[in-house]
Amino acid sequence: MDTVLEIHNLCKSYHDFSLQNINMSLEKGTLTGFVGPNGAGKTTTIKSILNIIKPDDGKITVMGMDSIINDLEIKSLLGIVLDDGHFYEDMTLKKMKSLIAPMYPTWNDRAYQTYIKKFELPENKKIKDLSRGMRMKYALVFALSHDAELFILDEPTSGLDPLVRNELIEILKDIVFEDNKTVLMSTHITSDLDKIADYLFFIFDGKIILQGQKDEIKDQHAIVKGDTGALLPDYESYFVGINQSAYGFEGLTDNKAALKKVLPDKTAYEVPSIEDIMLYYIRRHNNGLKLS
Ligand SMILES: Nc1ncnc2c1ncn2[C@@H]1O[C@H](COP(=O)(O)OP(=O)(O)OP(=O)(O)O)[C@@H](O)[C@H]1O
């Protein structure tokens, strides 16, 4: 498989935050979800990939090219959506397009017109008069209109209503599964990733705390529910976290197969959502305790 993006030991510190040794590798034709709570370091990682901020250490390559040395060549291969999309506020959408399109050798005006219509964007409005959702859609139209190889989307679904969010998810599915493009997408809305992600990276407090194929992660983990009496003290090592009450326990295991051998048959195992997994891992990193 071709590696499209490779991040090796990326580090970046601000006075009260450090991104620590981030490693990531994206294969062509896959969609990777970059998940983490507010302030975890998603945007800092993405801005480092895009050479918008200068890392303290580490190396980033896009299709084998160095992200700093080959900045311009790389930019034409990227479809980018950032939370704080940079547009000229006083320009109409039409004018902005006439300025940006010539910068891309592979600009596809038919794709642009198709998405402008699909997202019902008013081309004669000024950028400053767009709603948040409209701005996001406008940024997406650009990302989708120049035959990019790698799409880097920072919170692309935030501010979009459920209908448009679904539309976007379908578009992303098409570009990955039909056009064999690669997508890295950060999001808080993990239910979107439940539907489409191939790989997941969980970031918390500047560190990757869990990574892998989504299906494998979901297969290894389970929400387990049962009688507290069945929990022997050394079973704690099978859990990422456990909540106990008078009615029984509920926990997340990262070793479902092993736990099934030791807990009674009547114990219930449910497939966790990405959000369940994220919350349990964050809780563990926050308080260090498995039992609560
Ligand atoms: N230019 C900067 N100067 C100082 N601190 C910064 C700067 N940019 C980001 N930070 C800090 O780095 C940390 C990580 O921020 P980042 O934007 O990468 O998080 P995030 O995971 O994208 O969060 P969110 O989901 O809220 O967008 C935060 O504590 C933030 O305050």
Q: How far is the CA of 41 from the centre of ligand 1 (A)?
A: 6
- Mean pLDDT, the chain, as a whole number? 90
Q: Is 43 in the pocket of ligand 1 (CB under 6 A)?
A: yes
The CA–CA distances, whole Å, from 11 to 4, 120, 257 equal: 20, 41, 36
Element of type H or E holding 203: strand 199-204
Can you give the pLDDT at residue 1?
A: 63
As a whole number of angstroms, the distance between CA 123 and CA 121 comes to: 6
Starting at the earlier edge strand, list the strands of the sheet with 239-245: 239-245, 248-253, 222-226, 268-270
**pLDDT for residue 209 is more than 80:** yes
- Rounded to two decimals, the ipTM of the complex is 0.97
**pLDDT for residue 291 is more than 60:** no
Q: Is 42 in the pocket of ligand 1 (CB under 6 A)?
A: yes
Backbone angles phi, psi at 23, to 5 degrees: -125, 135
Residue identifier of the C-alpha nearest atom 9 of ligand 1? 44
Q: How far is the CA of 262 from the centre of ligand 1 (A)?
A: 43
Can you give the pLDDT at residue 85?
A: 63
- Dump pLDDT digits (tens) for 2-40: 999 999 999 999 999 999 999 999 999 999 999 998 899
| Assigned fold of 3-216 | Rossmann fold (3.40.50)
Element of type H or E holding 277: helix 274-287
Q: How far is the CA of 45 from the centre of ligand 1 (A)?
A: 10
Q: Which two tokens stand for residue 65?
A: 């090219």
Residue identifier of the C-alpha nearest atom 4 of ligand 1? 14
Q: How far is the CA of 43 from the centre of ligand 1 (A)?
A: 7
Query: Which range has the worst mean pLDDT, 104-108, 196-200, 276-280, 283-287?
Result: 283-287
The atom number, within ligand 1, closest to the CA of 45 reads 18
As a whole number of angstroms, the distance between CA 14 and CA 8 comes to: 19
Closest by CA to 217, choosing from 192, 253, 243, 188, is: 253
- Dump pLDDT digits (tens) for 147-194: 899 999 998 887 788 888 888 888 889 889 988 999 999 987 788 888
**pLDDT for residue 229 is more than 90:** no
Q: How far is the CA of 245 from the centre of ligand 1 (A)?
A: 37
For the chain, the domains span 3-216, 221-287
